[in-house]
Amino acid sequence: MYFNDLNSTKLALFRPPLPYLNSNLRFLHAIPSDVEIDIYINNTLTYENLHFGEVSNYISVTPGESTLTVYKAGTKENPILNAAIDTYPNNYQTLAFINPDSNIELQLIQDGMGSLNPSISFLRYIQFSPNAPLLDLGIFPNRRLFKYVEYKEETGYRPISAGIYEFLIYPSNATGFKSTLPNTKLELGTFYTIYSIGMINETPTFTNIIVKDGV
């Protein structure tokens, strides 16, 4: 008996495409050092000459477990870090290199993506300054957004109106230094992270950077 397979052929032609399964990964150099680094994933050079304070663009990687190796830029002997990392499909993640040269670690950070509410922005704070005290982050002159943030801590995202702000970072329980991010524009429907990096009263000096997440 002969069956006409035309209908099943049509179904195959109009079947929706398989979902996009790659991961999106970027790198942050928060090691308090002037040493640039090269990054290898599964023995393939993935990013080179990443310098202190630099955040790379996202790259697509195959999700799952991978081997990550970091060398001083321009070399491929005596790696300064070997680690296994797990990345997830349809996700955006930041891989931060932290701690002084003698004890480098990595921290894999899940980044916000898409828009929960296109009429507002979303902001979080991550503290990567090894010798800083507990820190607060606020808006000039006296609106506090996050408080008592310790080293390596990631706050959650909080909604914030789009606009132009002067952000302040300062010790939670003491007077002293006050670091600023002036004239910082937040756009509608966008996720942002403010990172504190560097060293207080040492080099490289304490500073703050803000990046868009998931784009």
Give the DSSP letter string of the chain.
Answer: -----HHHHHHHHTSPPPPP--EEEEEEE--SSS--EEEEETTEEEEEEE-TT-BPPPEEE-SEEEEEEEEETT--SS-SEEEEEEE-TT-EEEEEEES-GGG-EEEEEEPP-S-S-TTSEEEEEEEE-TT--SEEEEETTTEEEEEEEPTT-BPPPEEE-SEEEEEEEEESSS----EEEEEEEE-TT-EEEEEEESBTTSSSBPEEEEEEE--
pLDDT (0 to 100) of residue 16: 52
Q: Whole-prediction pTM value?
A: 0.88
Q: What gap in Å lies between CA 48 and CA 25, rounded to an integer?
A: 15
pLDDT (0 to 100) of residue 208: 98
pLDDT (0 to 100) of residue 22: 87
Q: Are residues 120 and 209 in the same domain?
A: yes
Q: Are residues 144 and 187 in the same domain?
A: yes
pLDDT confidence band for 114 (50 / 70 / 90): confident
User: Where among 111, 128, 149 does a domain terminate?
Assistant: 111
User: Where among 111, 140, 170 does a domain terminate?
Assistant: 111
Report the percentage of the chain scoring pLDDT > 90.
80
**Domain count across the chain:** 2
Over the stretch 27-53, which tens digit does the pLDDT of each residue have? 999 999 999 999 999 999 999 999 999
Residue 19 predicted with pLDDT over 50: yes
Pair of tokens at residue 212: 């868009």
pLDDT (0 to 100) of residue 8: 45
Q: Are residues 203 and 119 in the same domain?
A: yes
Residue span of the structural domain in which 157 resides: 115-214
Q: Are residues 106 and 123 in the same domain?
A: no
Q: Provide the CATH number for the domain around residue 152.
A: 2.60.40.1120
Q: Are residues 46 and 28 in the same domain?
A: yes
The more confident residue out of 124 and 116 is 124
8 in a structural domain? no
Q: In sequence order, what are the beta bridge partners of 29?
A: 97
pLDDT confidence band for 113 (50 / 70 / 90): confident
Q: Are residues 175 and 195 in the same domain?
A: yes
pLDDT (0 to 100) of residue 177: 84
User: Where among 82, 111, 140 does a domain terminate?
Assistant: 111
